Each structure stands twice: as C-alpha cells, then as structure tokens.
Amino acid sequence: MSSRALRPGQGRIVLRTDGYSTGFSEMSAMYPLKLLSPQLPSTDVPVVYMMSYGGGLVGGDCVELEVDVQDGARLAILSQGSTKVFKSRPGQRQSAAAHAQMPSATTQKLHARISPKGALFLLPDPVTCFRSAKYHQIQTLHLAEDSSAVLLDWVTSGRKSLGEEWAFSRYYSLNEVWVGGQRIAKDATLLEERDSEAGPLTARTLAETLAPYSCYATVIMYGDLTRKTIQHLFAAYSSITVFKQRAPPTLLWSLSPICDNKGCVVRVAAKDTEDVKMWLGKALSDLESVLGVDVYRMAFS
C-alpha cells in the first residue's frame, strides 16, 4: 500500500533496520488517523503515537493501520491519553436527516506483521467510550516463530466524573495472535446492554453486571523478549492465596499460559483505571530493559 493509495482513516508503518540503525521506510496516514514519531535520545526502539484529530473518534469513523516490522527491528506503538469514542463530534449538532444517515459505529482495525527477530509492543492508553457510543476494534498480529510481541487492550467505564459508567451502547474488541501461520490466541470482548425481554428474570444493566470494576485490561505476550516477564508473572500468580472475602478486592488478575508457556494472556480488572495502570507498570517492569527507560516510562507513567 503506497501513501498515494491511502483512503481516509488508513495508515501504514514500515520499520526496518540494517543492524546499525533503525528507521521508517514508510509512515503515512490520512484523516482522522494521525501518526507521530518523536525523536528520542539513544533508543533502539522507535515510538509511534497513534492519534486522531479533534480529540477522539466519532460514529462512522473507520481507522485501519497496517504495520510491518521487518527483520530484527523493534517498534512501540503508544497513544497520547485514552482513545475517546464519541457518538458524534463534540460541539457539532446534526440535523435529523444527517443523524439518521450517519453510521453509528466507530471502527478501528490494526494488522501487524512482525518478521524474524522483530518485536512489536502495542501499549496504548485505554479506550473510553462516551454515552451511547458504539466501538468495534479488531487487532491481528502475525509473528514469525522467533519474533516477539506484547499487545495491551483495555477499556474504561466512561466519564465517571459526569455520571457516565458503562453508558455506551456497544463495545466489541477482537484480538488475534498468529505465530508461524498458527493462531495461538484469540480473545474477544463484547459489552452491550442485554435485551430486557430476553427471559423471565429481571435483566441486569451492563453497569450492574460489570460492577464494582470500572476498568478491564487484557495483555497478550509472546516471544523471547517477554520470557523474563512471563516467568515473573507465573511466579507471582502461583504464590496467590485464595480465600473468602467480605467485599470484592480493589484489583483482580488472572494468568493463562499459551503456546507451551512461550506466551501468556493476562486479564486485569480494577475499581479505578489508575490502579490498573500502576499494576501493569510493575507487572511488566522487566520490559524496561527491552524498551529502554524512556520508552517504558512513556507507556506507563
């Protein structure tokens, strides 16, 4: 895909290395997608910020990003603040006809290919859907057997300060990781209000179902560069003592091995988004030696 062939919302990143220096042979995007790579002192892991114009995405926006990490290269993709999803553009009033014709769902797709010895660290801030918004996300990673990846996907309950807690219409996220042509992980999340007439029992609202937690996160890891992190997570998880509690804990987490312990899936839920961020910053701290101090702090500070 050349930059001239890009359609609105499309983007492409191609990162290569010759063993001495790492650089982008292509980094292009069209509205509403914006890509920015800051200059960092002495780092082997370039950073790309994936952003949008106007402070967030709205109903009808479709973002598609293609990422190609070539042999031996390492890339971190971050975001500046949470990905905000609006039902419509803030401050913009739609006529009744325009509102009826406007697609209601916001769609975001990412397709990445990581070549041998390469690595991708997808570490954005969480998605925050505003009232009545609809968001669909599909992220697919194709790895060589000796490449590495970390995929972080998390969602918040919304604008709690304005009384919006799980007030969006629909949230759907699908993450797939393939290694050597074999799918090793498929994780899907669907959050939406249930049909109140679906059965004889009184249906609970989405907020009641997900209470008392306001942030849910999933981390999928694979590869040699994540081995130390995975080992420490298994050690921490095996030491957890399960006992009955009078009230739900502030934070919960679980760990599932994949691909003969070469990878894992971590799930976290907490009452506050900052609790999840602090936990991730500590649990994944071994990645600091891989990413470098500056890049790691950009992701979790």
- The secondary structure of 156-204 as a DSSP string is E---GGGT-SS-SSEEEEEEEEEETTEEEEEEEEEEEPPPTTSSSSPPP
pLDDT > 90 fraction of the chain, expressed in percent and rounded: 78
Block residue for tokens 């790691």? 296
Count of helix runs (H) and strand runs (E) in the chain: 6, 18
149 within 8 A of 143, measured Cβ to Cβ: yes
Can you tell me whether residue 48 is helix, strand or coil? strand
Higher pLDDT, 167 or 101: 167
* Nearest to 180, CA basis, from 125, 143, 230, 213: 143
pTM value is 0.91
pLDDT digits (tens, 9 = 90+) for 178-214: 999 999 999 999 999 876 665 666 778 999 999 999 9
Give the side-chain half-sphere CA count within 13 A for 182: 5
Higher pLDDT, 254 or 3: 254
Q: Look up residue 223 and give its DSSP letter.
A: S
Q: At what angle do helices 227-238 and 273-283 cross, to 10 degrees?
A: 110
